[in-house]
Amino acid sequence: MALPCRKSVTGDAKLANTELVVLDVETTGLSPRCDRVIEIALCRSLDGNVVETYETLVNPGRPIGMGASAVNGIYDADVRDAPRFSEIAGDVKEFLGDAVLVCHNAPFDLGFLGMEMRRAGVNLPSPRVFDTLRIARANFRFRSNSLSAIARELEIPTPVAHRALADALTTHAVFHRFAAELCRGATPMLDRLVAAQGGAFHFEWSQVAPGCGQDEGLSSLALPPELQEALASSRRLRLEYVDTSGRRTKRLVTPLEVYENGYVYLLAFCHLRKAERHFRLDRVVTMRFERQ
């Protein structure tokens, strides 16, 4: 039975004839309005093959937090001589063109891209988007829907996780594996894939509003897939966390809510301390579901 789908602008186009650009960014945190991009990668794909790539580190104009560096391995010294985003915005826009975008957890990457483009004074057309996270949730039953977990289950190599180009290439491989599975030997068609993700997804850059502060709300945040699912189902998570002194600690927590106050915080019941605790999400190095 076909999944319900709103009318698509893609028509009956074949995936093989469609230009795709896979996007991934690494950032100083989770809020597009308060944090900045520190690395961006783009992969142009035709007929299932990557034909061109673009990648660069980006100087965010602010320190990179310990937690972010622990996750992606990018430190202040690495970006000191890198260009500001405003210096590369034109190149990024040209590379994107009018291609169909592919991301894993698209609101995160597109939220940051949109905010950086707005700061640079560069306008982008509203893109057509495939989100491999949405496709995974709607059609498959992975133990975790994080990009690295999906790749492991599909036996897709992930040599350098949490770097932009490596993650973009992994997303590209995951997307085409999904396309092959969902079309079951038939020629992959865009409409079939649009239906598989629950309908056409058009990202409006105006969704990302400027400003940063306690009352700005959480609408622009795209939380990690494990955290989204844990909040919805009360599942427990195992966190590896960098504290204020730089030490790594491990915690078993039950997430309660996420809020923003300059940084993005998780309020959770900590089973080690037997009490509610506040965790800065940019200091979380790893996040995994507790094994049942």
Check if the beta carbon of residue 130 is closer than 8 Å to that of residue 100: yes
- What strands, in cross-sheet order, belong to the sheet with 248-261? 275-280, 263-270, 248-261, 237-242, 284-289
Q: In the structure encoding, which two tokens stand for residue 271, read together?
A: 């089973």
Instruction: Give me the count of residues in the chain.
Output: 292
Q: Helix (H) and strand (E) counts for the chain?
A: 9, 11
Residue 172 annotated to the active site: no
Please identify which of the residues 104, 162, 172, 176 carries the catalytic annotation: 162
> What's the CA gap between 63 and 75, in Å, rounded?
9
Residue 265: other Cβ atoms inside 10 A: 17
CA distances from 268 to 53, 229, 234 (A): 40, 14, 10
Q: Which residues are catalytic?
A: 162
